[in-house]
């Protein structure tokens, strides 16, 4: 299995492991928002929201721009393609692994039947 | 955007945010392995590997079974479907958001051109 930019996957999966941060991304998918808007929407202190936005910004999932006193947040340039690719490959591997185990179980069952049959003879 | 079992996404994305833990999953996709095997393969102490396996086990990504003195690790029952669904929806949302912004930019450019034309007349 190819490793895609491991450090990037570390920061993006870590960014996605928090429900508020996932919620912020969903919100920014609907419209840009200031940190104050986001803090109100998620019933959080400004400091708390700034931290979450900082994590999202570091992972490239959000970009922010300060105009005057207002910092506006938007979705960043990352479309999470590498993360999708990793999960997709994991799923293929998982399916292959369980198919393989199914075959082993079937083979054992078949063998058991044959043995039973032989014992009865 | 629908939230899928938020707590589950928290633990699985957190589990995936570490390169050793992703490596262990890839390894178990090839074959089951004992904690000792995994510790050797990833050049890590037994204690360190036990912690990583513990995180993977808590998130349902790995199951372990102790026979005698050996604890064997296998891929767990989770196929990461909800995580894939979240990323898929995020991508759709991202595409829609950027299409929308493209339209706004195109509209502004068209307006600019018309204004230019008017000014020249």
At A72-102, the pLDDT tens digits run 999 999 999 999 999 999 999 999 988 887 8
Residue of chain A whose alpha carbon sits nearest to that of B10: A17
Q: Which residues of A touch B10 (CB under 8 A)?
A: 17-19
User: For A106-119, how does the pLDDT look when each residue is reduced to its tens digit (9 = 90+)?
Assistant: 888 888 888 877 77
Whether the predicted pLDDT of B57 surpasses 60: yes
Residue A106 or residue B84, greater confidence: B84
CA pair distance A46, A59, nearest whole angstrom: 20
CB contact under 8 A, B97 and A75: yes
Give, for A67, the enclosing helix (H) or strand (E). Answer: strand A62-67
- The residue ranking higher by pLDDT, B119 or B112, is B112
CB contact under 8 A, B10 and A26: no
Mean pLDDT (whole number) for B28-41? 96
What percentage of chain A reaches a pLDDT higher than 70? Answer: 94
Contact yes or no for A90 and B6 at CB 8 A: no
Q: A81 to chain B: which residues are within 8 Å by CB?
A: 91
Place of tokens 């006193």: A69
Do A1 and B97 count as a contact with CB atoms less than 8 A apart?
Answer: no
Is a pLDDT exceeding 80 seen at residue A121?
no
Q: Looking at CA atoms only, how far is residue A90 from chain B in angstroms?
A: 7
Cβ-based interface (< 8 Å): residues of A facing B = 1, 3, 6, 9-11, 13-14, 16-19, 22-23, 25-26, 28-29, 75, 79-81, 83-84, 86-88, 90-91, 93-98
Q: Which of A13, A19, A80 sits opposite B17 (nearest CB)?
A: A13
> By CA distance, what is B77's nearest residue in A?
A94
The interface pTM score, or ipTM, of the predicted complex is 0.82
B76 pLDDT higher than 80 = yes
pLDDT at site B5: 61
Selected residue with higher pLDDT from B120 and A62 = A62
The answer, yes or no, to whether residue B1 has pLDDT greater than 50, is no
**Number of Cα atoms under 13 Å in the Cβ half of residue B92:** 7
**Which residues, in sequence order, are CB contacts of B61 under 8 Å at separation 6+?**
B12, B15, B25, B75, B76, B78, B80
Identify the pLDDT of residue B121.
65
Provide the pLDDT for residue A7: 85
Specify the 3-state DSSP secondary structure of A17: coil
Quote the Cα angle for B21-B25-B27, to 5°: 110
Of A3, A6, A93, the CB nearest to B29: A93
Average pLDDT over residues A17-22: 97
Is the pTM value of this prediction over 0.90? Answer: no
């Amino acid at each position: 299995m190819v490793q895609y930019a491991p450090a990037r996957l570390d920061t993006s999966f870590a960014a996605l492991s928090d429900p508020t941060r996932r919620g912020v991304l969903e919100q920014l998918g609907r419209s840009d928002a200031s940190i104050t808007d986001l803090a109100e929407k998620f019933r959080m202190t400004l400091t708390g929201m700034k931290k979450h936005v900082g994590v999202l910004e570091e992972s490239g999932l959000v970009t922010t721009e300060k105009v005057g006193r207002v910092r506006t947040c938007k979705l960043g340039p990352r479309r999470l393609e590498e993360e999708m690719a990793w999960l997709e490959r994991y799923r293929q591997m998982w399916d292959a692994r369980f198919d393989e185990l199914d075959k082993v179980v079937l083979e054992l069952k078949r063998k058991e039947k044959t043995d039973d049959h032989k014992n009865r003879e």
